[in-house]
């Protein structure tokens, strides 16, 4: 498995190198992979990039934690109470497909142009995978577990924490894995459009003002690597502590 992954990555980098040096793409638009990787390594000694990256990386878990704190309890409630789910469903379905980028002007006017704006937008975008995974997981809980809990007169809070939450936890964590990528995309996009501190601002500055595509693509490599490492860590945690691993681990 590892050998195939390495071979696939090596093949991709080789094609990138050839495309960058063959003139197939306009010079300066797609620097060769070797040039981008050298720039990527140099980013870790670039104080400007480190400051920008720190803002994005710190905002990332904050957004995910807030999205989880909202989506998991709400998903458990909606999954348990069908009338409430039916009444709120149209609102959820209206909000879910809204493009986050289109909300940037509104949220900026309300919250200002600081970190709170990009975090709020990342929370909005990343709530939905966690919410739906949790909500539908509640509907799949074995009814015998719930009936047994009722027979022993288990209270609502104890039922939620001792029966429902453990049952939906693997599915909620899958939603968090999906939302991690969504949150990172929204953070970088918001930084790009609002010029707030972060990797998106770094990309906007060097890509728009200086046309330094080597630095832009090196930043993209950093973002992709960060997303890959976080997804791998969450998947490992899911396998280790949940006793259940979703198929399609590459998601």
pLDDT at 21: 80
If you count them, how many residues does the chain have? 251
pLDDT at 121: 96
pLDDT at 150: 67
Instruction: Report yes or no: 190 and 117 within 8 Å, Cβ to Cβ.
Output: yes
Instruction: Report yes or no: 207 and 213 within 8 Å, Cβ to Cβ.
Output: yes
Q: Specify the residue for token string 């929370």.
A: 123
pLDDT at 118: 95
Distance (Å, rounded) from C-alpha 73 to C-alpha 112? 29
CA-CA-CA-CA torsion sign (82, 86, 91, 97): positive
Distance (Å, rounded) from C-alpha 191 to C-alpha 185? 10
Distance (Å, rounded) from C-alpha 157 to C-alpha 147? 15
Model pTM? 0.86
Coil, strand or helix: which one is 46? coil
Instruction: Report which DSSP code applies to 102.
Output: G
Distance (Å, rounded) from C-alpha 229 to C-alpha 214? 22
Distance (Å, rounded) from C-alpha 245 to C-alpha 241? 10
Q: Which residues are within 8 A (CB) of 54 and not within 5 positions of it... i.e. 6 or more apart? A: none
pLDDT at 209: 78
pLDDT at 48: 93
Each of the 251 residues of the chain gets a pLDDT tens digit; together they read 566 777 888 888 888 888 778 777 776 788 888 889 999 999 999 999 999 999 999 999 999 999 999 999 999 899 888 888 888 888 989 999 999 989 999 999 998 878 999 999 999 999 999 999 999 888 777 676 666 766 667 777 777 777 778 888 889 999 999 999 999 999 999 999 988 899 999 999 898 877 889 899 999 999 999 999 999 998 888 887 775 544 444 44
DSSP 65-133: HHHHHHHHHHHHHHHH-HHHHHHHHHHHHHHTTS-GGGGHHHHHHHH-SSHHHHHHHHHHHHHHHHHHH
pLDDT at 245: 47
């Amino acid at each position: 498995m590892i050998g195939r992954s390495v071979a696939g990555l090596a093949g991709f980098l080789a094609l990138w190198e050839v495309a960058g040096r063959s003139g197939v793409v306009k010079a300066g638009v797609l620097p060769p992979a070797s040039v981008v990787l050298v720039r990527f390594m140099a980013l870790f000694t670039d104080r400007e990039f480190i400051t920008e990256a720190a803002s994005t990386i710190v905002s990332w878990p904050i957004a995910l934690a807030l999205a989880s704190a909202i989506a998991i309890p709400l998903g458990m409630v909606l999954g348990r109470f069908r009338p409430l789910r039916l009444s709120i469903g149209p609102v959820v379905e209206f909000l879910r497909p809204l493009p986050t980028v289109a909300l940037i002007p509104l949220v900026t006017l309300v919250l200002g142009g600081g970190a709170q704006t990009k975090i709020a937008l990342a929370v909005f975008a990343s709530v939905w995978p966690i919410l739906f995974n949790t909500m539908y997981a509640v509907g799949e809980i074995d009814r015998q577990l719930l009936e047994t809990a009722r027979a022993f007169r288990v209270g609502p809070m104890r039922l939620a924490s001792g029966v429902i939450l453990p049952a939906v936890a693997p599915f909620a964590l899958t939603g968090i894995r999906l939302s991690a990528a969504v949150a990172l995309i929204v953070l970088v996009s918001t930084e790009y459009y609002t010029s707030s501190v972060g990797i998106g601002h770094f990309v906007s500055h060097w890509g728009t003002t200086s046309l330094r595509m080597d630095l832009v693509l090196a930043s993209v490599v950093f973002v992709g690597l960060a997303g890959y490492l976080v997804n791998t860590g969450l998947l490992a945690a899911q396998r280790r502590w949940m006793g259940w691993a979703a198929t399609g681990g590459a998601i």
